[in-house]
Amino acid sequence: MTSDNTDRADLTDRVALVTGSSSGLGYAAAEALARRGARIVLSSRGGDKLATAERRLSAVSPEVISVAADVRDPLQLEDLVSTAEEALGSIDILVANGGGPKVKPAAELDDADWEEAWPLVFLFVPRLCRLVLPAMRRRGWGRIVAINSVSTKQPIAGLALSNSLRPAVMGYVKTLAQEVAAEGVTINAVLPGYTRTERQLEIAEGIAARTGAGVDEVLAERQGDFPIGRMAEPGEIGEVVGFLCSDAASYLTGQAVTVDGGYARGLL
Ligand SMILES: NC(=O)c1ccc[n+]([C@@H]2O[C@H](COP(=O)([O-])OP(=O)(O)OC[C@H]3O[C@@H](n4cnc5c(N)ncnc54)[C@H](OP(=O)(O)O)[C@@H]3O)[C@@H](O)[C@H]2O)c1
């Protein structure tokens, strides 16, 4: 590590691809990277939501484009990366994020549920890494962050698909980190706890519909689960992603960084 006056948080001229970024945690990550000076490729399944996110982010980012791609489709991921590279140049930073799997008790899951969740929760992460890694390795610098979940540390009731598949992402992250560490590429996962996003609201609405409780009641009940006394705001996760993607995090790789307000009670 050098001890000059360079701002090691600065990401000026870095190109960052953030998938699942028209809202929620993905958007917050893109915003944190943009504030550090990165040029941003936003991506989600597309439509007005993505166009609105692009307009919003252009107030913060030196340059932002958006490209529609469903993370479950390998051909769309290939097109996404090549379109991004044509527009902004090689990708320095990848934030791999997507939608959450359906909420269903473990005993009720059938094969179709597992097959539907696998590409959405796991498979797109190695697929995207395969596409961006060659250029990162050639240049000797790269940052990859997978948005995972605190369910990797402490299973969440009713989220059997997430509880089962998120640890697989961690296994991949840890293994890849060891393979590319000496080449200037780091890969980590961020494990958010409950964060106030559309997804979290949908989960609360689902519980409310099943139990007959009001959505506000469900959300209020949850507060007791967090030692910190409240859910996270998306920006509190985004800031951690911003740090992990900077030079300041140069010695941090293969880690599961839990940002959960103290929710997970285990020692590690
Ligand atoms: N919020 C939490 O408390 C929490 C905690 C732990 C983990 N997580 C996980 O973190 C991830 C993001 O969650 P969030 O809370 O930010 O959810 P969110 O607010 O619903 O955002 C999900 C984002 O992913 C995009 N998306 C959904 N399906 C996609 C697909 N098939 N292909 C491409 N983009 C897709 C959505 O955009 P479009 O609709 O425009 O495609 C949106 O931009 C999820 O995997 C979630 O399970 C969330």
CA 199 – ligand 1 centroid, Å = 6
Listed by start position, the domains of the chain span 15-193+233-258, 196-231
Distance, CA of 207 to CA of 209 (rounded, Å): 5
- Whether the pLDDT of residue 223 is over 80: the answer is no
What confidence score (pLDDT) does residue 57 get?
98
Residue with tokens 């780091």: 186
Q: Using a 6 Å cutoff on CB, does residue 66 contact ligand 1?
A: no
Mean pLDDT of 52-56: 98
pLDDT greater than 90 at residue 239: yes
Confidence category of residue 204, pLDDT binned at 50, 70, 90: confident
Residue identified by tokens 């300041």 is 248
Q: Dihedral sign, CA of 39, 41, 42, 48?
A: positive
What pLDDT is recorded for position 261? 95
Asked whether the predicted pLDDT for residue 52 surpasses 70, the reply is: yes
Give per-residue pLDDT as tens, 24-49.
999 999 999 999 999 999 999 999 99
- Residue-wise pLDDT for 113-132, tens only, equals 999 999 999 999 999 999 99
Choose one of 41, 44, 75, 240 to mutate for the ligand 1 pocket test, by most ligand atoms within 8 angstroms of C-beta: 44
Q: What is the mean pLDDT of residues 156-164?
A: 93
Q: Is 261 in the pocket of ligand 1 (CB under 6 A)?
A: no
Nearest to residue 191, comparing CAs of 157, 145, 233? 145
195 lines ligand 1 (CB under 6 A): yes
Exposure string of 1-17, with b = 16+ CB inside 10 Å and e = fewer, is eeeeeeeeeebeebbbb
186 DSSP β-pair partners: 143
Residues 6+ apart with CB under 8 A from 123: 72
Count of Cβ atoms closer than 10 Å to residue 201 Cβ: 14
What homologous superfamily does CATH list for 15-193+233-258?
A: NAD(P)-binding Rossmann-like Domain (3.40.50.720)
